[in-house]
Amino acid sequence: MYAAPGQPRPAYEKLHAALSKLTGAELRGRVDVVARTYLDAGVTFDIGGEERPFPLDVVPRVITAQEWSEVEAGVAQRVRALEAFLEDVYGPQTAVRDGVIPRRVVTSSAHFHRAAAGIEPVAGVRVHVSGIDLIRDERGEFRVLEDNVRVPSGVSYVLENRQAVSQVLPEPFLAQRVRPVHDYPRRLLAALRATAPDAEADPNVVVLTPGIFNSAYFEHALLARTMGVELVEGSDLVCHGGRLWMRTTSGERRVDVVYRRVDDEYLDPVHFRADSMLGCPGLLSVARAGNVTLANAVGNGVADDKLVYTYLPDLTRYYLAEEPLLRNVDTWRLEEPEALEEVLDRLDELVVKPVDGSGGKGLVIGPAASRAELDVLRQRLIADPRGWIAQPVISLSTIPTVIDDKLAPRHVDLRPFAVNSGDEVWVLPGGLTRVAMPEGQLVVNSSQGGGSKDTWVIGDDATPPRPSRRPARQAQMAGPDLAPDDARGEQQQQQQQQRHQQRHQQRQQGCGERTC
């Protein structure tokens, strides 16, 4: 916020002026209003099975139109490169043949599914929705931390945050042009309909959820409601005649597009987990026949692999013949012997991450780790170097955050969301700013105690702000995703949902045997 002590940067001048007029008690009052609104709305997250209110800081992050244009272009380019990579990986694999990325890196990824080979999605779109995690380094440069192209979540926070912050801080919000985010559901629905098979004039789109016990159920329900489409579970769907159908009270209705929030492993028991009760048998075969669109496509997880991430700059040059607009964070590939040797010598000064980890789980920050923890980590790296990467400790940028009625700097990152219709990659202006609430904490994930901020993109070409008139919701709902980037956490939730449904079925069977 500040260019020098007491001197706000131009982008923050209106916000700073508004905050400067508030006393500590007034600031606390606005914080309490947001907290009560979120609690009433059920905007919570899950830590170890306990639902907690999701922390939203009332001080927004401000990004200028010029800064955002660079992020927007870089994210769109990244998505185009990821699309090209996935098309190639499940097709001719020319990048492997030409030595751009080793075959072993692709085939050893836990989320590379041979069952997805040869499937040609409508309009060539596999990444309908993506979340590209960015950080701002010490020099103020945005850099890519990781890619999320399986079931990226957290956009519900963006929509809810804007709703709440525009109400409790109307003075700076109305004093400048803040680009709106309310258009996201319409953009998403248009992109999903654009990728429907058979050029359907009025394609039927559904959102597939693991169920009400999933921690992201709030987001699933919100997106279905705001898009005006059905929210379904696996038991609502059936495949026959080479098509996918939804059971309704008036009979079966054909489904053309499935925005699925169920992991690959649970999506189709014919091809993946045979005991899955969250998906629909035969769904992948219908997709292979080109009679239904799955968003996002099966097998996208290979592009989420953090070792594959290290090759994205070269893959961008290879597929697009362009220089990457957003640079990666410098990364050591530990499967390379020289890199492994160097990292083992510098464990106490680096950040080490599992390649399939998320939500900050498994991450070790060397300077903060004990000698015993580093010794354990050393043995794990030696035993499975493919399973890890290492990066330098980067001091993330900070933004003033309300801590005990005062403002104090806290580290943040940024997750822009992109929607791909095949003709256009549209980037939601602002995205989700995640903030590490503990002082000095570098892990921003909510599962690690983090919260979020509203993100304001301001500029003269923006649409004038529209104050929200929607009253705070009163109905209690299951909370949104526990960690916006926590794919592993969501998978655990799906496993819990799977076990719940299995127990429910066993109770029904048991009851039937006793003829009760």
**In the predicted model, is pLDDT for residue 379 greater than 90?**
yes
Rounded Cα gap, residues 255 and 338, in angstroms: 52
Q: Residue 501's pLDDT is what?
A: 59
Higher pLDDT among residues 14 and 512, named by residue:
14
Q: What percent of the chain has pLDDT over 90?
A: 66
Over residues 327-348, mean pLDDT: 96
Pairwise CA distance, residues 449 & 446, whole Å: 5
pLDDT, one tens digit per residue, over 88-109 is 999 999 999 999 999 999 999 9
Residue 330, SS3 per DSSP:
coil
Report whether 448 contacts 365 (CB < 8 A): no
Average of per-residue pLDDT across 306-318: 97
Question: What's the rounded mean pLDDT across residues 274-290?
Answer: 94
User: What is the mean predicted confidence (pLDDT) over 485-504?
Assistant: 53
Which one has a higher pLDDT value, 340 or 50?
A: 340
pLDDT at res. 158: 95
Give the β-pairing of 205-208 and 257-260: parallel
pLDDT higher than threshold 70 for residue 21: yes
- How many other CB atoms are there within 10 angstroms of residue 406's CB atom? 11
Quote the pLDDT of residue 43.
74
pTM of the model: 0.87
pLDDT for residue 470: 44
Q: Which residue has the tokens 């508004």?
A: 18
The CA–CA distances, whole Å, from 219 to 224, 265, 415 equal: 9, 21, 16
476 band by pLDDT with thresholds 50, 70 and 90? very low
Tell me the mean pLDDT in the region 352-381. 89
Model pLDDT, residue 508:
46
- Please give the C-alpha separations between residue 395 and each of 328, 398, 413, 512, in angstroms, as whole numbers: 15, 9, 11, 60
Other Cβ atoms within 10 Å of 462 Cβ, number = 17
Q: What is the mean pLDDT of the chain?
A: 86
Say whether pLDDT at 432 is over 90.
yes
Residue 194's pLDDT band, with cuts at 50, 70 and 90, is: very high
Kindly tell me if the per-residue pLDDT of 484 is higher than 70: no
pLDDT tops 60 at residue 71: yes
User: Average of pLDDT values for 436-465?
Assistant: 75
416 has pLDDT over 90: yes
Q: Which residue has the higher pLDDT, 443 or 258?
A: 258
Q: What are 232's strand-pairing partners? A: 208
- pLDDT of 148: 95
Q: What is d(CA 50, CA 42) in angstroms, rounded to the nearest whole number?
A: 13
DSSP string spanning 140-193? Answer: S-EEEEEEE-SS---HHHHHHHHHHHHHH-HHHHHTS-B---TTHHHHHHHHHH
Which of the two residues, 472 and 256, has the higher pLDDT score?
256
More confident residue, 326 or 398: 326
Predicted confidence band at 47 (pLDDT cuts at 50, 70, 90)? Answer: low
Residues 491-507, mean pLDDT to the nearest whole number = 56
| Structure confidence at residue 91 (pLDDT) | 94
Query: Comparing C-alpha atoms, which of 167, 132, 182 is closest to residue 38?
Result: 167
User: Residue 66 above 80 pLDDT?
Assistant: yes
Position 496 scores a pLDDT of 54
Least confident of 101-115, 252-266, 286-300, 446-460: 446-460
Apex CA 39: angle with CA 34 and CA 42, to 5°? 125
The model's confidence at residue 482, banded by pLDDT at 50, 70 and 90, is very low
Q: How confident is the model at residue 8 (pLDDT cuts 50, 70, 90)?
A: confident
Q: In the predicted model, is pLDDT for residue 75 greater than 70?
A: yes
Full DSSP string of 96-152: HHTTSS-HHHHHTSTT--GGGTT---GGG-S-SEEEEEEEE-TTS-EEEEEEE-SS-
Distance between CA atoms of 38 and 42, rounded to whole angstroms? 6
User: So what's the pLDDT on residue 468?
Assistant: 46
